[in-house]
Copies of this chain bind each other. A is one copy, B any other.
Amino acid sequence: MSSAKRGRATNTAQTAGPEHATPNAPPHAGRAEHAVKVELTAVLVAVAGGEPRVMTLDEGRALPSGPFELAHRSLQAGLRDWVEQQTHHPLGYVEQLYTFADKDRTGFAGPDRSGGESEARTISISYLGLTREREPSEGGWRSWYDYFPWEDHRAGAPAVIGKVIAPRLHEWAQAEKGPKRAERLERARVTFALDGHAWNDELALQRYELLYEAGLVAESCRSGAKPGEVLPGEALAGRAMFADHRRILATGIARLRAKIKYRPVVFELMPPTFTLLQLQRCVEALAGRAVHKQNFRRLVEQQELVEETGATTSEAVGRPAKLFRFRHGVVAERAVAGTKVPLTRT
């Protein structure tokens, strides 16, 4: 066996053959490959002013992104390059979200959608990044509830769900019949907590996808809108984004909401010292729901994730609060173990 036949990268062998007995030959070696474009996209999150913020470009219509290039050492390195170049904001904690390649979601054909002749495939690899805002109002940061107004349940369920979303999803379900109708109704009930179902903050992506399918967000009518579907009312839709960036944002929100419940990642979003209420507000901003104050403290303290600095603060009215900092040793341990969050039942 020639050494040329086992190049370093997968699939470099150019000839098909019966050499399957070689220890390391990929089973499909020799087939022709097709190149596609690879796009890196970042959901960069910070919390400031009690709001969960996401870094955007182009007047809030796009997430930081750029093509994966040969010069990049790795996917993450490529992403860091793009984000730092586009936003001048350094990237801290980063984790991969999802890789999308749906044909009809990447495009953004409007009423005048141009022909699809040069149908190049684009694969979009998305990442979640966590950081702190540096200057008070650095450009580009927007509350993610601008894009998903129905996701903020900190002061109870938003009116838009009962007044607009529920009835229109109901119409959408009625457009089907039999088991398909029942299925649509059930999806709507579970994801939007209708008819007594409990609100599940981690279903942010499923909710967006449901609205997309039902034709209730602006992105629906770009290319995938089926005839007969309800068309979007701007009041409902929340802010739209370029291509499938809002879907990627929803994926990031869902992932982060799930993650804060079992891994101590809130730290990445907090200043060096903070009060327990600030920490709670941060969690509430992300989860989009209220947290039981006393139980939150109990949890944080019993997990030994924080320690007192000795100092106190009295920036607002009321009894001054102790300042805490994270215990980096414990945080590192727990990065692999568990952390939880106590919610309020109502």
Q: Which residues of A contact B (CB under 8 A)?
A: 3-4, 6-12, 20-21, 23-28, 31, 33-39, 57-59, 61-62, 64-70, 73-75, 82, 86, 96, 98-99, 101-103, 106-110, 112-114, 116, 118-125, 186, 190-191, 200, 203, 206, 223, 242-243, 332-333, 336-337
Contact = CB atoms under 8 A, between A and B. Distances in A.
Given A27-B86, A33-B67, 7 more contacts: A4-B114, A8-B116, A9-B107, A23-B61, A24-B61, A70-B119, A99-B125
Contacts of A120: 9, 12
18 contacts: A3-B113, A4-B114, A7-B107, A7-B118, A9-B121, A10-B243, A11-B37, A24-B242, A24-B243, A26-B62, A26-B242, A27-B62, A28-B67, A35-B35, A74-B101, A99-B99, A190-B337, A206-B336
Given A9-B106, A114-B7, A28 B65 contact: yes
Chain A to chain B: the 3 pairs with minimum beta-carbon distance, closest first: A8-B107, A35-B35, A33-B67
Contact of A37 (B4, B35, B57): B35
Contacts of A24: 61, 108, 110, 242-243
Could you say how many copies of this chain the assembly holds? Answer: 2
Contacts of A66: 28, 31
A24 B124 CA distance: 17
Given A6-B108, A119-B9, A103 B73 contact: yes
